[in-house]
Structures are given as C-alpha cells and as structure tokens.
Amino acid sequence: MKLSAIASILECKVNFKDININGMNALKDAKADEVSFVANSKYVKDIQTTKAGAVIVPDSLVEYVPEACIALVVENSYWSMAILSKYFAPPVEDEKLLDALIGDGSKISSKAEIAKGAKIGNNCTILAHVYVGCEAVVGDNTIIYPNVTVYRDCHIGSDCIIHSNTAIGADGFGFATNAQGEHKKIYQNGNVIIEDDVEIGSNVSVDRAVFGSTLIKKGVRIDNLVQIGHNCEIGEYSVFVAQSGSAGSTKLGRNVVVGGQSAFAGHLEIAPFSTFAARSGITKNITKSGLTFSGFPLMEHKLWLKLQVKIARLLK
C-alpha cells in the first residue's frame, strides 16, 4: 500500500513524501518498507531506534520518532493498528499458488486436505481430516493424527508428532478497545514455527503471532489441552503438562517444566531449568535458573510447603 492510503484510512493529517509500505511489524523488527506502532511510553527506546518507514503514534510520543521515520499521529494508536492490520492480512486460501509438494514416501490420507502452496517432507504420515493450509511446511518423518489443523504459513519441523484435534496457527486472542468499550480485531499476520523432534498432544492450541513467529523450539513436549498464546517462545526440551498454558509474548528458557493447570501471564521471561508445580500462577519474570516454584502468589516450593504446614496447624 501507499503510505498516503494508510494515512487516509487512519484519518491522519500529515505532510510527507509518499512511500510504498509492504507490511506491518514490531518496532524492533520493522524495516524501511514497513509500518509499526507504539501505544505505551515504556517503548520509547524502541521508537528512537526503529528502522520502520512509518510509526503509528499518539501525540504524546511523537517527539521520540526518528527523523528518518514518518509519524502517523492518531488519538488511539492501538485501535488504529487494529484497523490497519486487516489490510495486511493474507487470504485464508490462495488459488493462485502452485499445487502442494509431497515428499517421497509420504502417506497422505484421501480424506486429508493439503492446500495449494503447502510443502510436505519425505516419509510423513498425514491421517484423515487433517488440514494443512497454504504455504504451510511440514518436515520429514512427521506424523499428524486425525483432525489436526495447520493454518497457512505455519512451519512444522522434522520428526514431530501432533495428536488429534490440535490447532497450529489459529489467531491469537488480540483486540483493541476504544473509549466506548467497542472491540476491534487485531489480525494475527505472523505464523507458528515448530522445530524438530516436538511432540504435541491432543486438543492443544498454539496461536500464531501478531507479527513474526510463535516459536516452539527443538525437543519440546506438550501434553493434552494446553494453550500457547501468540508470540510466545518455548525453549528447547521444555515440558507442558495438561491444562497448562501461557499468555502471549512470554519467553521460556530451555528445559522449563510446567505442571498441570499452571499458567503464565503475558510478556514474561522465564529462566532456563525452572520448574513449576501444578497450579502455579506465574505473574513475574523468573531470573535465576534451576529453582522450583509452587502456588499463587508464586513462591519457592520449599517455602510453599512450610506455608501449607502452618495453615494446616491453624485449622486444628
């Protein structure tokens, strides 16, 4: 799109030399042909160093926009970003793409559907009622059980197993809200990348990113009924037990173990080799590796055990 067209959609009054915009991205990752946004003053440093061609910004933060970047000044930048995201959303299916490529030795059920532009590696097994979306990629030796849905643009590595009824790449739970309490969908224009040797149980949801990728790294094990939010990063060989989950943009280091019904708030960073007992509620960053935690509010497991003993004594 032309930047002038974007300005018109967002009802911005600006004077600038018109440029072509080919996508949207986060401040840190945006390029000169992309538009980004900022809605919070805590991202001032990212504004000042962004390489974006244009930034959607409230009037209170416009002074931090670099000279080389065009400021699109709006009243509610998060709402405006949501409006614009629709214009850069790819089509759900694209008939203009070439037929799917199927690798040697792969067995695809006649009841499965592989969309145009998809690529299936060698020696894969794709069972009945699986849907693999356009331009999705599945590596070698991967097994996908019935009723799994792999949305467009998502990548699944080699030697993976994905069990029934799991959804890879559904939209993350993202929307903007205005002063009247109305909600505007933020189109999730990123994807999901699952690296090699990952096993995912049944009825799991791994949401696609707003921009960039939701990342499940090598060797991860995910049990049934787990939710991974948009833009999360799950470190190598981490384990999620049933009914646990993470809100968006949280990053786990390698070998993190998450007990059943535990949950992470969004935008956290979790140190490697952390362990969380069942029903842990994690709302703050974990910076020290190798510790075990329990409860909500979260505390170290040894302290939690002592607390339970004291509570039990009070009840006698």
Question: Taking the domains of the chain in order of start, what are their residue ranges?
Answer: 3-88, 101-303
Output the CATH code of domain 3-88.
3.40.1390.10
Output the CATH code of domain 101-303.
2.160.10.10
- Per-residue pLDDT band for 13 (boundaries 50, 70, 90) equals confident
Q: Give every CB contact of residue 33 below 8 A, 6+ residues apart in sequence.
A: 19, 20, 21, 22, 23, 53
Catalytic residue among 129, 155, 183, 230: 230
The pLDDT value given to residue 249: 96
Q: What percent of the chain has pLDDT over 70?
A: 100
Active site residue 183: no
- Say if 3-88 and 101-303 have the same CATH topology: no
- pTM of the entire structure? 0.93
pLDDT digits (tens, 9 = 90+) for 77-122: 999 999 999 999 999 999 999 999 999 999 999 999 999 999 999 9
Among 200, 194, 206, 254, smallest CA distance to 223 is for: 200
pLDDT digits (tens, 9 = 90+) for 227-237: 999 999 999 99
* Rounded CA separation 8/84 (Å): 11
* Rounded CA separation 186/210 (Å): 8
Among 39-43, 123-127, 177-181, 306-310, whose mean pLDDT is lowest?
39-43
pLDDT digits (tens, 9 = 90+) for 150-172: 999 999 999 999 999 999 999 99
The pLDDT value given to residue 42: 84
